[in-house]
Structure 1
Amino acid sequence: MKAGDLRDLARGDVQLSALGMGCSQLGGLYRAMQQQQARALMDEAWSLGLRYFDTAPFYGYTLSERRVGAALSARPRNQFVLSTKAGRLLLPDPTVQPGDDGWAEPLPFRPHYDYSFDGIMRSFEDSQQRLGFAQIDVLYVHDIGRMTHGDANVELWKQLTEGGGFRALDALRSEGQVKAIGLGVNEWQVVHDAMQETQIDVTLLAGRYTLLEQECLSPFLDDCVRHGNAIVVGGVFNSGVLAGNGKFNYGDAPAAVVSRVHRLAEVCREYEVPLPAAALQFPLAHPAIVSCVVGARSVEQLRQNVAWFEQALPAGLWQALKSNGLIADAAPVPEGVQ
């Protein structure tokens, strides 16, 4: 499989490259990124065949959207897919400090949650202006769910269901301002709930279908296939633990996770396969999955991700992982080379 291979959503006139560029790093996540470095990353992603770019107002407090829009402005608009998110309004605030919410150099705009009809519409219009495009291909509802909001999620969910948030998404889609709608979240349960409320075209699901986690296989991914909710997987390294940085779900990896990663790595070494290569390729075997988005801090890291993604892996690796109880028996696996 090549990074630039195009894959169709079940609904909507949208084709995503098999590997997409996640643009949170362009907003300076944890470490500052200079403008020229951000532009070089976007240009290199294009040269490597990536044609799907995902950003959000929250990333760098609008910084990522501005950089993504500027980098794509000279590209033919019909040759790439762009997604952003709604659910937070970024309002001017001079008290914003470096390090707020993990952004090294955030712009002076403070996020405020708003999933209502008016909130979704204003967020979309603000993103149009920052990105510089009248049409945005995919709009995700960002970070709804208990993992982000805890008990406060009850009232925020009502903004979507009773306050018109889902209705706003439907209106934007029916008017052609976006081609597809969905959720961009870290938990599959809230996506399952949303599928009962409105017709979702695509979901960006981070960290929940990986070499470490396959709990969502059934009934969730089965239902996604049946109902045409295509899944873009993010967080395939589970915040980095599968790439060697010791982080899991944005924090230090617990001992049980570290132990499991070591066992995965041992099997991969037996087949002379880098663990990150297996982590990148595994999710795409599921029929619900259309694309995988990864971020990068440097051109070299981006090139490495593409090399891992395109590396030919032996079929025996996947069977060995199953026989060792390291991935679910029901999980589809890549065909691999014999």
Structure 2
Amino acid sequence: MNVALGTSGIAGLYQAVGEEDAQAALQAAWDLGIRRFDTAPHYGVGQAEERLGRFLRDKPRESYTLSTKVGRLLVDDPSAVDGTDSFFGVPARSRVRDYSAEGVRRSLQESLDRMGLDRVDIALVHDPDDHMAAAIGEAAPALARLRDEGVVTGFGIGTNDAGVAERFIRETDADTAMVAGRYSLLDRRAETSLLALCDERSVSVMVAGVLNSGLLADPRPGAPFNYEPAPEWIVEAAQRMAQACEAYGVWLRAAALQFPLRHRAVDAVVVGPGHADLVHDTVAQLRARVPDELWDELAALVPDQARLP
């Protein structure tokens, strides 16, 4: 199954999630055949890695693929405000940006310590948009050395900005790119730039944020797009897509989840449900049949990309 379970949802993104619910979501994903997991120190200030590590600790290491991210170090902080960066019910810690070679090695080791594991498969430089000099000049070479040493199998970048990812791929020896929100039914901005480059260089692509912060799950007025309330014209575009899907007896979220996998550069879709019932629904939508005719109709409904916020 070309799907990875992202772990922001089990770490309290937008609403607190208890340990029992988080473990139930992970178990549901495993039972449904998901064997790829993506996490990061950023998610729940370490809570995602801790919970995922507890789940994976008794699983044979060769039975799953794991990616985490570097670029944010965590420090204990009794004054930390719950809900910072939209994560709730999390430990009292703060994030400190560090894309230096030393910071990358420290970040990776601390992630392994939190998870109780001895290695990850992929390390991604996380959101280096305002730190590209360090990301390219220090983080990437450090990760390349870790790859050569066998500490990681590969490395790459994880970001919401297709241009940032494209630059990183052009200027480093990365194996992987994860882009969130920029290759979806509504937002195709990564297609002719990043995805084309990755296809040319045989760099694998993981696409996250395929529901565009929730708009493609529930296209109602006021729904979020790119983490902000969506402009009316974008909501209307999503509603037209939903109507096209309804005519074929298909849920909009099924088309949204499956769409990125139609591109040959895309290796996996990353999904982040935080509860077991949402995991079941996500996998069901990924397995639903979407007629070719519907894909053609949806392509004709793509909004003006130049207007997207």
What's the TM-score once normalised by structure 1's chain length? 0.86
Question: What SS does the aligned partner of 1:293 have?
Answer: strand
Q: Contact 1:211–1:327 (CA<8 Å) still a contact in 2?
A: no
Q: Which residues in structure 2 correspond to 1:176-187 (within 5 Å)?
A: 176-187=150-161
Query: Which shifted more, 235-244 or 30-39?
Result: 30-39
Other-structure match for 1:49:
33
Q: Contact 2:125–2:135 (CA<8 Å) still a contact in 1?
A: no
Within 2, Cα distance between the matches of 1:166 and 1:217? 24
Other-structure match for 1:159:
134
Question: What SS does the aligned partner of 1:205 have?
Answer: strand
Other-structure match for 1:230:
204
Q: Which residues in structure 2 correspond to 1:42-121 (within 5 Å)?
A: 42-121=26-105
Within 2, Cα distance between the matches of 1:55 and 1:220? 22
Other-structure match for 1:301:
278
Q: CA deviation at 1:75?
A: 0.8
Question: What SS does the aligned partner of 1:290 have?
Answer: strand
Q: CA deviation at 1:327?
A: 7.6
Deviations 1:56-87 (A, max 9, x none): 00111111100000001011110100111000
Gaps of at least 5 residues in structure 1 are: 5-17, 146-152, 329-338
Question: What SS does the aligned partner of 1:67 have?
Answer: helix
Find 1:316's aligned residue among 275, 287, 293: 293
Q: CA deviation at 1:123?
A: 0.4
Q: CA deviation at 1:263?
A: 1.0
Find 1:272's aligned residue among 243, 249, 256: 249
Q: CA deviation at 1:288?
A: 0.5
Q: CA deviation at 1:161?
A: 3.1
Within 2, Cα distance between the matches of 1:96 and 1:45? 31
Find 2:4's aligned residue among 20, 25, 38: 20
Structure 2: which amino acid aligns with 1:201? D
Q: Tell me the number of residue pairs that the alignment of Structure 1 and Structure 2 aligns.
A: 301
Other-structure match for 2:307:
none
Q: CA deviation at 1:228?
A: 1.4
Within 2, Cα distance between the matches of 1:160 and 1:314? 42
Other-structure match for 2:213:
239
Q: Contact 1:83–1:140 (CA<8 Å) still a contact in 2?
A: yes
Structure 2: which amino acid aligns with 1:263? R
Within 1, Cα distance between the matches of 2:31 and 2:164? 36
Within 1, Cα distance between the matches of 2:247 and 2:147? 48
Within 1, Cα distance between the matches of 2:292 and 2:167? 36
Structure 1: which amino acid aligns with 2:133? K
Structure 1: which amino acid aligns with 2:86? G
Q: Contact 2:119–2:151 (CA<8 Å) still a contact in 1?
A: yes
Structure 1: which amino acid aligns with 2:273? A
Other-structure match for 1:217:
191
Q: CA deviation at 1:220?
A: 2.4
Other-structure match for 1:336:
none
Within 2, Cα distance between the matches of 1:220 and 1:327? 19
Within 1, Cα distance between the matches of 2:52 and 2:178? 18
Q: CA deviation at 1:316?
A: 1.2
Find 1:281's aligned residue among 238, 258, 268: 258
Deviations 1:8-36 (A, max 9, x none): xxxxxxxxxx1111100121112111111
Instruction: Say what the alpha-carbon RMSD is for the aligned residues.
Output: 1.4
Other-structure match for 2:13:
29
Q: Contact 1:61–1:109 (CA<8 Å) still a contact in 2?
A: yes
Q: Percent identity?
A: 37
